[in-house]
Chains A and B, each alone.
Chain A
Amino acid sequence: MRVLVASSEIVPFAKTGGLADVTGALPKALRRIGVEADCILPFYRCVDRDRFPLKGPGRAIRVPLGHRDEAGSVEETDAGDGVRAFLVRNDRYFGREFLYGTKDGDYIDNCERFTFFCRGVMEWILRSGFRYDILHCNDWQTALIPVYMKTLYAGHEPFRETGTVFTVHNLGYQGLFWNHDLPLTGLGWDLFTPRGLEFYGKLNLMKGGLVFADVLSTVSATYSREIQTPEYGYGLEGVLYERRDDLYGIVNGIDDKEWHPATDRRIAARYSAEDLSGKADCRRDLLAEFGFPADDVPILGLIGRLTAQKGFDLVEQIGEWLAGQRVRVIILGAGERKYEEAMEELGTRYPDRIAIRIAYDDALAHKIEAGVDMYLMPSLYEPCGLNQIYSMKYGTVPVVRATGGLADTVVDADADPEGGTGFIFRRYDAEDLKDAVSRALAAFPDRPRWEAIVRRGMALDFSWEASAREYLRLYERALRKRGRKG
């Protein structure tokens, strides 16, 4: 099977968020399980030409955009692990300093830029002779590809048997543009309806992907159900509900090379489920880093963007209560001013209990994951979540709200004594959060039980191969929908 993963950002070429990690890791994992996967992304200025030399001359493409044709080319380079990376080049659109906009706001022509990218991918496949069984598109920037597949390019030879998979990583960004951008896409106004790409009088590109792709997925099964409700659906719950039979959830894998306690060079000592002694070293190292005494008071860690989504309203509400428990809290992250200020205030008031580091610090993040005893994720919503997975991998017990990927990856140790890997609360409510933290703190002194919980978490397989196998099943479903045998 041949798969082309299309994305607006792919590690190691361009990255602004988690999307790039997924679309960077997935093709490689697919290759490892025998799928011929390639990837395609825009040729941004940030793509390192020295690290990734281009192979031969690019292939010229002409992309119809509204009333004119825009010229461009598609270059090829090596993404590593046998994955070919194709770069859609047009310096007017992508030769910019940033991917989507400056710090002041999004570029004014983003619709035009990513229409060029999507249609460029179609034109390139049409002319290049490359044949793919599956086009795997991600988020609104590539959402027009499934639309083109079913409309302007329907029935064209290279696409006749091609299936499309559209993965939603972040439903909050939908690619919403004014109606006068529709002619740019080359799609007729008859698609500009509430059943098509129209969203309250505006053009919604993500909706196109949701309506036209053969199979839809998001990054966890629970999240895939949650987004069918008004609470999580951002107005797209209707179309998601309508396509619920084609909507699947696949949890992201984690990068074993980056995140593995047995090989991690950023932490004080290496360790494994068999021998947890290294974790004690890491714990001492972390306590020293934050100036805490090396005692056995349980440590609760929290890393992430300081936003409402990550549940910092709840953290703020239980701050006083936490300070009164027998626990130390270490928080790393940056984000909204008001949460930064609130957390800093807590740290100032309870310096012996709560430590705050307002920063993004990857090395410190590794140290925290390895050094703390339990990890807090009270997210308002969490499509997938990675830190709870890193935590379990590093022998740290997650305390999470049962939402999105958190609900799918963590099992409550009280509800399921034999299989529990963490502690879970359901309602987005301070009292429920307190209850979960209390249960974790109560379990901590029971060493055999605690270590059993830790070992169960460490034994779980969150490798990309496991995810890739699930994606492969998804591709086969898409092909069956296209009337082909997987």
Chain B
Amino acid sequence: MEEGTDRRFSLLSRVVELSNSNIQVENRLKHICDFLSRESGADCVCIYRREPRGEDLTPWVSSCLGIEECSKLDFVVRSGEGIAGKAAHKRAPVFFPDVKADPPSPAVPQELRDFTSILAVPVMDDIYLYGVINFGALRKTSYSGEDMALLRAVATEVAGTIRNSRLYLDARKRVSELITLNEIGRAITSTFEVKDILGYVAKTTARLLGADGCTVRLSEEGRRTPEVVVDEGYGRPGFRREFRALGKRLALQIHMERRPVLVNGPEDSPFHEQLVRHGVVSFLGLPIVSMGRSLGVISCYSATPDLHFDMEVVHLMQTVCSQLAHMIENATMFRKAQRLAQENQVKVQRISTLYDVARALMSTVKTERLLQTMLYALISPGGLNFSRAILFLLSQDGKSLVARMAMGPRDRKEARRIERLPRELLGDEAPVEEIPKLLWPEIEELRIPLSDPSCLVARAVQEKRPVRTETGCGPPSGEHAAARDGGFCRSHPSCFAAVPLVIKGEPRGVIYVDNLFHARPISEEDIQVLTMFASKACLAMENASLYESLESALHAVRSAQDRLLQSEKLMALGEMAAKIAHEIKNPLTVIGGFARRIAKPVGKPADRHAIERYAQIILKEVQRLERIIRETLYFSREVAPEFSSVDLNSEIHDMLAMFREDLEDARITSVLDLSPEIPVISVDPDQLRQVLWNLISNAIQAMERSGILTVSTRAADPEEGVGVVLRVSDTGGGIPHDVVHNIFNPFFTTKPKGTGLGLPIVHTIVEKHGGTIHLDNQEGKGVAFSVFLPLFPREAGAGERILEQMRKGGANESGLKTHPG
């Protein structure tokens, strides 16, 4: 080496310049080697790098003039071996001036090559050895103390360069890892899809670590072995398949021990040899631990010769694993909560559906409507949502099931339409107009013999329990095969259900449902709901039939009553005819007798006086007949009143005057209490007289021996209406209670000579005048009739009510207004 401080200074300054430049560290070291090889007199300058594990040295960067680059040679110098190894071991420069004469022991031939003199300077700072710089000279060379000091300074500068570069790369790597961890963290909280996340994490970590593959295994609850969920990586085809068995064993070990396993060499694991055989140079597996329990295992492998995972990677992956553990736990909790919520929702949905169905079923008692509602509830999207439903009822003889009604879409298109119908079963929204369209009228032809053992629908009835099948009815057997050929069992889909309708322990029929147009199968839950539905349906059907029998009973009672009424009327007519016959028989007999006497006098011829007397008698009897006829006629035809203004009080005076003789004969005291303030009323005077005559004569006849007849008038109370009230009362002992309801019936009479038409005529007349008549009967005392007559005649009808009430029983209890005398 040439002398000269300036030269040494410029050399060092160039090295400092290079080592501080902002280019790749290999470039920097290469330029330093180039520069040193030109300036130091060495033919070859080679920087050996210390392996990360141990103190082995390998050529890294070199600058060789005229011979092959040392860095292209592939060899290892162990600590203490060769010249570089000795320098590394001693942490001090080692100089061999003539290796040919005096080689190092042990020697490393690749290090020596053709060199004569070799100087090895350790590249180190005050703590750490980064490598060694070898200066090889083909010819024998020596180094002065200053040169040696200079080269040591250069080596220290190189050490600084390597350290800075490592720190720089390390910092960048850390940043990269932190960003990636941050990304993983964000991804983990973004979804509950465990598989997606694991896939993402496996991919990302594998790429971050430079791993050739990453596998995640999860242990399902209750399983011992974690199973592969994600398997990321590339590499030669078939590798992953081959590696899987070994990976599984390692994963199981990690899962059971809950400790990370890092395999870089045979000392790490007995599996190392097998890993190497698969081409795996480094393996790292970690348990995903949550609350002391291993949820699974994440493992990475490297098939790249230089890429070994280290403890830093382990720590990094532990961070990832703890994030994953939280994520998996969260996802599991979330899924559980979701499942519970779903189950609850389904239950609530089912209960509310059943409630709706029950309400719909109770909305009618008409059997036809009820059955339609029932079937619609089975196929409606708001109901039980089956495809089709058929109701079978047990035949009269109990030997077969007869299709009563069927409902459902006939094709897929209609099925889709039904699915879009409003979900309501009741109310204005309910698609009631749709229901009849969905009926299958032709179904009534269908019969199933109950004795068919292979027909599951029949069996549901016989065994009184629901059936559900996905394989259809059993194979045809014997006699039924022919009957069923093309029959019901052949025509429905193999997946269906049937629930029996059982009322008071007796099967009455069965409901068949299927899901022909729905993709979903019929589940056990469906059967539960269907069973509940069937019991509701039975109740509703029973209600409907009870109601129907009640109604028919009522109908029977009504018609019986009508028939009774009719016969009563006939009876009355007969009675009346008999009475009329009786009534006219006496006068006719009398008339006939006297007429015969006149025509054929018996004994002596009739004298003129006798004939005259006979004629008087005949006349009188004819008059009587005429009266009977007149009065009878009054009933048989309408006699329209002719109204005129009448003073009631004076009419009463006139009438009483006519009865004076009778009153005196019977020693009856008459009392008049006529209100002078009553208004003039508009009535038919003749008919009014008839009323007065009947009432007064009735009263007189009631009092055979003495009594008091009271006749009064007054203006009507406002609640009675505008008009007058006439009252006629007697002290004749009243009407017996058991006959009082007959008094207005024609021909009813208690008197030997009465026609029984008096009071009915009174009643008819008062009615025609728009008035009312009240009866105050006090048995043992007497009776009082109050007649209200309106100021102006009104429509008839009000009286009918009274009459009806009187028919029903005692006037006393009927609340009729009475005016005690």
- Neighbour of A188 across the interface among B18, B182, B183, CB < 8 A: B183
Question: Binary interface profile of B, 1-37, with partner A (CB < 8 Å = 1, else 0)?
Answer: 0000000000000000010011111011011000000
Q: Bound state CA distance, A105 and B23, in angstroms? A: 6
A106 engages B234 (CB within 8 Å): no
B176 engages A106 (CB within 8 Å): no
Chain B residues with a Cβ closer than 8 Å to the other chain, count: 30
B31 engages A183 (CB within 8 Å): no
- Neighbour of B176 across the interface among A102, A107, A183, A201, CB < 8 A: A183
Question: Binary interface profile of A, 197-222, with partner B (CB < 8 Å = 1, else 0)?
Answer: 01001000000000000000000000
Residues of A close to B169: CB separation below 8 A = 180
- Say yes or no: is B179 at the interface (Cβ < 8 Å to chain A): yes
A104 engages B31 (CB within 8 Å): yes
- Say yes or no: is B431 at the interface (Cβ < 8 Å to chain A): no
B210 engages A179 (CB within 8 Å): yes
Residues of A close to B208: CB separation below 8 A = 179-180, 189
A104 engages B18 (CB within 8 Å): yes
- Say yes or no: is B596 at the interface (Cβ < 8 Å to chain A): no
- Say yes or no: is A230 at the interface (Cβ < 8 Å to chain B): no
CB-contacts of A90-135 with B (<8 A):
101-102, 104-109
Q: Bound state CA distance, A104 and B175, in angstroms? A: 27
Q: Bound state CA distance, A16 and B653, in angstroms? A: 152
A201 engages B210 (CB within 8 Å): yes
B22 engages A201 (CB within 8 Å): no
CB-contacts of B21-74 with A (<8 A):
21-25, 27-28, 30-31
Stretch at the interface among B199-207, B488-496, B502-510: B199-207
Q: Bound state CA distance, A102 and B21, in angstroms? A: 9
B22 engages A107 (CB within 8 Å): yes
A190 engages B23 (CB within 8 Å): no
- Neighbour of B175 across the interface among A105, A108, A183, CB < 8 A: A183
- Chain B interface secondary structure, helix, strand, loop or mixed? helix
- Say yes or no: is A51 at the interface (Cβ < 8 Å to chain B): no
Residues of A close to B176: CB separation below 8 A = 66, 179-184
Question: Binary interface profile of B, 226-242, with partner A (CB < 8 Å = 1, else 0)?
Answer: 00000000100000000
A106 engages B23 (CB within 8 Å): yes
- Say yes or no: is A192 at the interface (Cβ < 8 Å to chain B): yes
Given contacts A190-B200, A190-B203, A198-B207, contact A106 B178 (CB under 8 A): no
Q: Bound state CA distance, A224 and B30, in angstroms? A: 35
CB distance from B279 to the nearest CB of A (A): 16
Given contacts A183-B176, A189-B204, contact A108 B210 (CB under 8 A): no
- Chain A interface secondary structure, helix, strand, loop or mixed? mixed
Residues of A close to B172: CB separation below 8 A = 180-181
CB-contacts of A55-69 with B (<8 A):
66-67
CB-contacts of B159-192 with A (<8 A):
168-169, 172-173, 175-180, 182-183
Residues of B close to A102: CB separation below 8 A = 21, 23
- Neighbour of B22 across the interface among A108, A192, A198, CB < 8 A: A108
- Neighbour of B234 across the interface among A101, A182, A194, CB < 8 A: A194
Which residue among B30, B172, B173 has the maximum number of chain A CB atoms within 10 Å of its CB?
B172
- Say yes or no: is B304 at the interface (Cβ < 8 Å to chain A): yes
- Neighbour of A105 across the interface among B28, B179, B203, CB < 8 A: B28
- Neighbour of A67 across the interface among B30, B178, B210, CB < 8 A: B178
Residues of A close to B180: CB separation below 8 A = 183, 189
Q: Bound state CA distance, A189 and B168, in angstroms? A: 22
Given contacts A104-B18, A105-B31, A188-B183, contact A66 B175 (CB under 8 A): yes
Residues of B close to A106: CB separation below 8 A = 23-24, 27
Residues of B close to A66: CB separation below 8 A = 175-176, 179
Residues of A close to B177: CB separation below 8 A = 180
Q: Could you pull out 23 A-B pairs where Cβ atoms are within 8 angstroms?
A: A66-B179, A67-B178, A67-B179, A104-B18, A104-B21, A104-B23, A105-B27, A105-B30, A105-B31, A179-B208, A180-B172, A180-B173, A182-B207, A183-B176, A183-B179, A183-B183, A189-B204, A189-B207, A190-B203, A192-B207, A193-B207, A198-B207, A201-B304
B contact set with A: CB distance below 8 Å: 18, 21-25, 27-28, 30-31, 168-169, 172-173, 175-180, 182-183, 200, 203-204, 207-208, 210, 234, 304
A contact set with B: CB distance below 8 Å: 66-67, 101-102, 104-109, 179-184, 188-190, 192-194, 198, 201
For the complex with contacts A67-B178, A104-B28, A108-B168, 4 further pairs of A-B residues with Cβ separation under 8 Å are A104-B18, A105-B23, A179-B176, A192-B207
